[in-house]
Structure 1
Amino acid sequence: MNFKVVAATASLGGLLFGYDTGVVSGALPFIRDLFQLSEAMQGFVVSIALLGAAAGAAAAGQLADAYGRRKVIIVVAGFFVVGALLCAIAGNVPVLLAGRLILGVAIGVASMLTPLYLAEMAPADKRGSVVSLNQMCITVGILLSYIVAYLLSEMDGGWRWMLAIGCLPGVVLGLGMIALPESPRWLAGQGRHEEAAAALKTLRGGADVSAELAALRTDLTRSDGALVPWSALLEPRVRIPLIVGVGLAVFQQVTGINTVIYYAPIIFEKAGMASTSAAILATAGVGVVNVAMTYVALKLLDTAGRRKLLLIGLAGMAAMLAVLTLGFAIGTEGPLAWIATLSVAAYVGFFAIGLGPVFWLLISEIFPLAVRGRAMGVATVANWGSNLIVSQVFLMLIAGVGSAATFGLFAVMTVAALAFTFALVPETKGRTLEEIEASFAETGAAR
């Protein structure tokens, strides 16, 4: 089987993650008007999916370690379909919230499990670009949601079709994953060596995989091939990776990215855009920048390295948030619309070459096999929990302290993320997962 087919199919989880995350941005103004939602209730429509995502991520690691990566992805594809259809047919707020909650669970599982599956399938020298294909699909999904929202924004009841379209990639993902192999590292961890060898041969086009398989078995010997208790997350070899993973998870959210993804049309309306359709169109332009810069990151991660791109991206994000803060502080309505659009686009571009793809890539690399699923689950729960808090309070912050102060706070948090990265985040390019694990084990023992 061509490895590109495997990567492209599995990455549909990222496409669904992106589409269902971004589509609420275009649908929310119409849902708000139809159901007469307050600002707090608008925040809850968005954030209930994030609550589901945190719950899904919390369960995903244990399920993936116990039953395999592939089976869990197949099940979660069904959740995407059911959740999207429920949202689309909702005649009242409780049904809409139920659909959003189911979608959230699916998003949470996919956000953690897709990069994990891809990282365990990819050769070391291509792992950065392969795992970041998931991030590329996330940005494509977000862009598609913006385009669909714009095209349907003038249609009566068009928001329902915006939400319903999300079920189509879910069907393709579920059917496609049935034909894909299980992760050879998970199979080796279960003592299923012959199946692991067969999966590796399939992924490597029939080439000799004896050396790679031997490395998996060495890793298996160290972890005893069994599910270890949750207390293993406190071991010295896991402690530093866990601090890095959870720290980046929180910083990815408290620097403000998903407030832009969820509320971009509302931000642009406050900056003086003439209509909802114009604000959605401007948001689609930001989505194009997101996709383009993620493609740049995809090409650079295995050459320039993860750490360098992360530092550059965070520095650029901080600068653009400072510009946006100044623009809202000045408050000249005509120029402000342009300042907001351009600075948000540049901010998203810097996120797309740094904190966007690098966070998901690093947490798929830095944890030992024996606890990889559960440790990634902890980091992903921290990510979605932070997302939930920030998204729930964003509109209330805008109303309470103003746009300038809100984006100024995001700028301060971005500077803190830059310092955290400089102090603690390692470079992992070009190293096997087993080599990365050994390095952290040595560091933990020394400490």
Structure 2
Amino acid sequence: MNIFHRKYQDWIKDIPLRLYFLALIATFGGSTVGIDIALVNGAQLFFVKHYQLGATLHGLTTAATLLGALIGSSFSTFINSFVGRKGALGVASFVAVGAGIMEALVNIWGLLLTARIILGVSFGIFSSTVPIYLSECAPARVRGMLTGTYQLSVTLGLFFGAVSDAIFVNVSNGWRFMLGTVIIPPSLCITGLLFTPESPRWLIHKRRYPQALASLRKLRTTEAEAIQDMNSIKENITRTARERSGHGIISKIITIPHIRHALVIGIFLQLSRQLSGVNAMLYYFDVVLRSAGMSVSHAVYVNVAYGAGTVIFTLPMFWIVDRFGRRVLLVYTMPIIACMSLLVGLAFLGSSQIRMALSIVGFLLFRLFYSPSLGPISWVITAEIFPLEVRSECLSICTFFSYAFNFVVSFSFPDMMDQMKTEGAFAFFAGCTIIDWIIFFLFVPETKGLDMEVMDQLFRQSWSSQASQNLKQLDNLFPWFRSSSEATGNTIEAENRNQTITDSIDQSAHKDSSEWNRKVSNKSNEPSSLIINPALPDNLS
């Protein structure tokens, strides 16, 4: 443990402060998404009466941002391509500020609905861009930690939104102040973007090499590290671009097997998040507590405590995601998440006191294991598994499906509670999580510590080969099934197996590079002048 601790400290001290600042500014976008979820939960108690809305229009107004997010995620690809990651965040921030002011001031329901849809457009852009921006700026050794700050920013938004609800709940027209509070995070994002560099990978993709090197110098500790990363990114982007020249973006995604493979994994991760029931809990937290017998005021206070717990439970992710890996966290926590959903459902089979006690315990324990695992890890993996030339497009597709699944689950949950009862609804989420866990265990590889430029090597093997390889790692993931002495004796063997897997990926990457070089030499004798320093590191991971 001391060795791991020292290694972790070495990672942290080698990260420049500019990179921390960039993560802080970028994740204000996530805070915008989170804070609105909490704010509308409080504001809807008032604007429903103000506009005399029925149940259908009530639900439409509350979830209108999800419809806007589908639009925003669809256009995010084009925005990212033309104005870059920083530019996309700037566009989303200005849209969010304008929509927030509009929904706080309007007196016509139709304009309120329009403002919320526009606000949702910014959510789609934020969700598609922030993970990409963070993953492309971070070095491989801490990419998971920094990309995971997006999930932390969402939880921080949830907490501050709940606090805002509590502050304005007894103020005249307080619901307008609640909705208007949403402009704070994007306003801070606009200011901070003036002092942050653009993604070096996007700049290299656009052949703006001097600006890319300047960006890397700000985001790396040493000049040598910046040049080394510049060479590696440039070499791999140039190689993949030449290999796949003549193919359109959509054609690449559909016809190239390993890109299609990665996209299926990304969509599945977003589906598994929604089928865990997390957003049903967020949007209907007060409703569930009230159905358990809790008063309105107590439900609001519990919601504030729940938001605080969500933030605290997310913090361990920064310490463990790049130490233990993405796959290990999900394999260990998803069964527990399923059990906590089941616990909430079973609570409603008891008396009023049992319902209140067990539902709160279940909600908090659900968050304890969800916040450092499935919540952030699904975005960490999705942001890092796609090649650069299709990364923004694929992440936009994943974001679109995330919001689409969110919309379906959030709107269907009231009907689920009516038709299946609360216990049946949460039992459904528990069963879906177990099924997702089995699929994840079989088909999702570990991505920890791999450079993004060689990440697609993981998805060049077939689904059956990936499942077979993952099954061979059972002893590593569950060592307690073996005897204590056997587990101790096989520690070195397990490490060697992990190294073999990494080496096979490296060999595959070098093999692909050699094949490409032979193809190029057959077509042209012109030497390549695209590399600043032709000496590339042997270990691509």
Normalising by structure 2, what TM-score? 0.79
Question: What is residue 326 of structure 2 aligned with on the other side?
Answer: 306
Q: Give the distance between the partners of 1:232 and 1:109, measured in 2 at CA.
A: 23
In the TM superposition, residue 229 of structure 1 has moved relative to its aligned partner by 2.1
Query: Within 5 A, what are the aligned runs for 1:194-233?
Result: 194-205=210-221, 207-208=223-224, 209-224=226-241, 228-233=248-253
- Paired residue for 2:397? 378
Could you give the per-residue CA deviations for residues 189-242 of structure 1, whole angstroms, max 9, x where no partner exists?
Answer: 111111111110111155322211111112211232889421111211202111
Instruction: Note the residue ranges of structure 1 that are not aligned, 5 or more in a row.
Output: none
Q: CA deviation at 1:154?
A: 2.0
| In 1: Cα distance, 2:249 partner to 2:192 partner | 33
Post-superposition offset of 1:340: 1.4
Q: Does 1:176 align with 2:195?
A: no
Aligned Cα RMSD in Å?
A: 1.9
Counterpart residue type for residue 433 of structure 1: M
| Alpha-carbon offset, residue 313 of structure 1 | 2.6
Of 233, 244, 255, the match for 2:276: 255
Q: For residue 250 of structure 1, what is the amino acid of its counterpart?
A: L
Distance 1:399 1:443 in 2: 43
CA deviation map 1:3-40 (0-9, x unaligned): 21111111111111211232212222222333333333
Aligned equivalents of 2:83, 2:460: Cα separation in 1? 27
Find the residue that maps to 2:198 and give its secondary structure: coil
Corresponding residue for residue 352 of structure 1: 371
Query: Which residue does 1:396 correspond to in 2?
Result: 415
Preserved contact between residue 349 and residue 355 of structure 2 (Cα < 8 Å): no
Contact 1:43 1:393 (8 Å CA) reproduced: no
- Is the partner of 1:426 in helix, strand or coil? coil
- The Cα of 1:385 is off from its aligned counterpart by 0.3
Aligned partner of 2:337: which letter?
A: M
Deviations 1:62-85 (A, max 9, x none): 321333111111111011101111
The aligned length equals: 445
CA distance in 1, matches of 2:61, 2:331: 34
Distance 1:230 1:397, change over 3 A: same
Does the aligned pair in 2 maintain the 1:111–1:380 contact within 8 Å? yes
Deviation at 1:136, TM superposition (A): 0.9
Q: Deviations over 1:302-339 (max 9, x none)?
A: 00111111122311210011111111133x22221121
- Tell me the percent identity: 28
State whether residues 135 and 384 of structure 2, in contact with CA within 8 Å, keep that contact through their aligned partners in structure 1. Answer: yes
Q: Supply the distance in 1 between the matched residues of 2:185 and 2:375 (Cα, whole angstroms).
A: 22
Match of 2:59 among 43, 52, 58: 43
Query: Where do 1:57-96 residues align within 5 Å?
Result: 57-96=73-112
Match of 1:273 among 289, 294, 315: 294
Q: Could you list the runs of 5+ residues in structure 2 that have no partner in the other structure?
A: 1-16, 467-541
Compare CA radii of gyration and give the structure with the larger one.
2
SS at match of 2:349: helix
Task: Map 1:76-155 to 2 at 5 A.
Answer: 76-155=92-171
SS at match of 1:165: helix
What one-letter code is carried by the residue in structure 2 that aligns with 1:247?
F
Amino acid at match of 1:43: G
Q: How far, CA to CA, are the matches of 2:370 and 2:119 in structure 1?
A: 24
Distance 1:350 1:40 in 2: 34
Larger mean CA deviation between 378-387 and 435-444 belongs to 435-444
